[in-house]
Amino acid sequence: MVREERLQAEGIDDHLRFRFDEFRGWTKIEPEKRRLREAVTNYLRENPEVDPRIKKHLQNLEIAVGMTKEQVKLLWGEPHDSTGLDTQQQSSTNWWFYDRIPMAFFERKTWFYALGFDSGRLSQIIQRITNQPL
């Protein structure tokens, strides 16, 4: 059975975020979290013009609607797959896909994310959870 949640920017912005812990899982993440926090700190130092709302999400290691592709990559790395134009282009709608994201080792679920970008900004997050591990 698959449960799909489609989240859009209008009216429910606070729900349009996913934490680093949710994406990576709970096992062996402390060293990676430290490295990631350092990378975010450096990014914000080099980009002081970042919107305060986006800055807060970056500091919390969350992706959120309105982020640039660069900011999403900073937190989640390269997508496993993509559609539309080349992932480096900023001019058209395209999708990035991330998968195999268990919450904890004992859960027998797989999390899939489709991130929709419009004009280079994250505009949609679709989350699917299956009851079968990859």
pLDDT at residue 27 is higher than 50: no
**Are 6 and 22 in contact, with CB atoms under 8 Å apart?**
no
* Placement of tokens 């700190």 in the chain: 41
pLDDT at residue 24 is higher than 80: no
Taking the C-alpha atoms of residue 86 and residue 69, their distance in angstroms, rounded to an integer, is 12
pLDDT band at residue 92, thresholds of 50, 70 and 90?
Answer: low
* Placement of tokens 């899939």 in the chain: 112
Name, of 5-14, 20-29, 41-50, 72-81, the range with top average pLDDT.
41-50
Of residues 51, 76, 49, the one with CA closest to residue 61: 76
Taking the C-alpha atoms of residue 127 and residue 1, their distance in angstroms, rounded to an integer, is 14
pLDDT at 99: 78
pLDDT, tens digit, for every residue of 96-123? 888 765 555 556 677 788 999 998 899 9
E strands of 46-103, at which residues? 62-64, 81-82, 94-98
Taking the C-alpha atoms of residue 42 and residue 26, their distance in angstroms, rounded to an integer, is 25
Name, of 19-23, 24-28, 76-80, the range with top average pLDDT.
76-80
Taking the C-alpha atoms of residue 44 and residue 5, their distance in angstroms, rounded to an integer, is 31
Mean pLDDT of the chain: 75
Domain ranges of the chain: 2-130
pLDDT, tens digit, for every residue of 58-75? 999 999 999 999 999 999
DSSP state of 32: H
DSSP state of 4: E
pLDDT band at residue 12, thresholds of 50, 70 and 90?
Answer: very low
